[in-house]
């Protein structure tokens, strides 16, 4: 277990950096940034996205950036390995004009949490004392986030189901559970084809052998 390291945005804004950070672009409209090459199973990603949706509905909006490698930072690779302060603060500043909740950054070396300096979504002292599963060899970055989000929500006075309580419905396989109407339509089509074929045979019976005319 490791403490969630966070710092309230009370000081001056961080130095301006070039806007080339993929996570800041994705998190404008979604709750999770998951790099394509993260290798995290789809089922785990679905569970985390479901948890973030439930968290927002419970009154605790939080967005998560999973940063698997320095390349996931785009043009701000200098912030690699610095989740608690530099990158979490930078990412929140990038999103603050469009999003007023908290940001949780998960890197292989730990967490970074940042939020507004005041208001109902400000990071509380209780959140700073939260201990969650640390990312590691047996704990993926998504597993660490799934561990942290409910604990942070609880520390802020909200209830969010933990990972074991969230069940994501798998999409139905193609062709599975074909509706009865579709089967009836298929049967009618087959009968029509058979009827046309039978009528054609009556009009012009097939000739298996033909005599040649001398």
Q: How many domains does the chain have?
A: 2
154 shares its domain with 193 = no
Does the residue 19 lie in any domain? yes
pLDDT at 95: 92
Based on the domain organization, do 97 and 192 belong to the same domain?
Answer: no
Distance CA(174)–CA(33), nearest Å, equals 28
Question: Which distant-in-sequence residues (6+ apart) come within 8 Å of 110 by Cβ?
Answer: 2, 5, 83, 84, 134, 135
Do 60 and 154 lie in a common domain?
A: yes
60 shares a domain with 114? yes
Same-domain status, 23 and 112: yes
| pLDDT for 30 | 93
199 is a domain residue: yes
pLDDT recorded at residue 197: 53
Radius of gyration of the chain (CA): 28
Q: Supply the pLDDT for residue 105.
A: 94
Q: Is 134 exposed, middle or buried (0-12, 13-18, 19+ CB in 10 A)?
A: middle
**Residue 138: what pLDDT?**
78
How far apart CA 126 and CA 48 sit, in angstroms, is: 22
Which structural domain, as residue segments, surrounds residue 198? Answer: 177-206
Does pTM top 0.75 for this prediction?
Answer: no
Residues whose CB falls within 8 Å of the CB of residue 115, separated by 6 or more in sequence, listed in order: 6, 8, 9, 92, 101, 102, 103, 121, 122, 123
Does the residue 171 lie in any domain? no
Residue position matching structure tokens 């301006």: 16
Residue 139 lies in a domain: yes
In this structure, are 89 and 183 located in the same domain? no
Average pLDDT by consecutive 10-residue portion of the chain (214 residues)? 43 42 91 89 91 94 93 89 84 91 92 90 91 85 93 92 58 42 63 60 46 42
Q: Return the pLDDT at 106.
A: 93
- SS3 category, 209: coil
């Amino acid at each position: 277990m490791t403490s969630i390291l966070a710092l309230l945005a009370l000081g001056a804004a961080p130095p301006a950096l070039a806007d080339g950070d993929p996570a800041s672009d994705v998190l404008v409209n979604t709750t999770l940034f998951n790099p394509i090459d993260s290798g995290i199973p789809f089922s785990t990603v679905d569970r985390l996205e479901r948890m973030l949706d439930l968290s927002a509905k419970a009154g605790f909006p939080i967005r998560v950036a999973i940063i698997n490698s320095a390349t996931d930072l785009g043009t701000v690779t200098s912030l690699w390995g610095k989740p608690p302060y530099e990158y979490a603060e930078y990412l929140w500043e990038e999103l603050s004009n469009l999003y007023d909740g908290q940001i949780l950054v998960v890197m292989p070396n730990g967490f970074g949490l940042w939020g507004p300096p005041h208001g109902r979504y400000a990071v509380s002292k209780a959140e700073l004392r939260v201990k969650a599963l640390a990312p590691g060899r047996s704990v993926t970055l998504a597993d660490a986030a799934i561990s942290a989000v409910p604990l942070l929500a609880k520390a802020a006075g909200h209830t969010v189901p933990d990972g074991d309580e969230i069940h994501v419905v798998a999409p139905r396989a193609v062709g599975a559970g074909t509706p009865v109407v579709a089967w009836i339509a298929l049967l009618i089509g087959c009968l029509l084809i058979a009827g046309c074929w039978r009528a054609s045979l009556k009009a012009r019976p097939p000739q298996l052998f033909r005599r040649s005319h001398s």
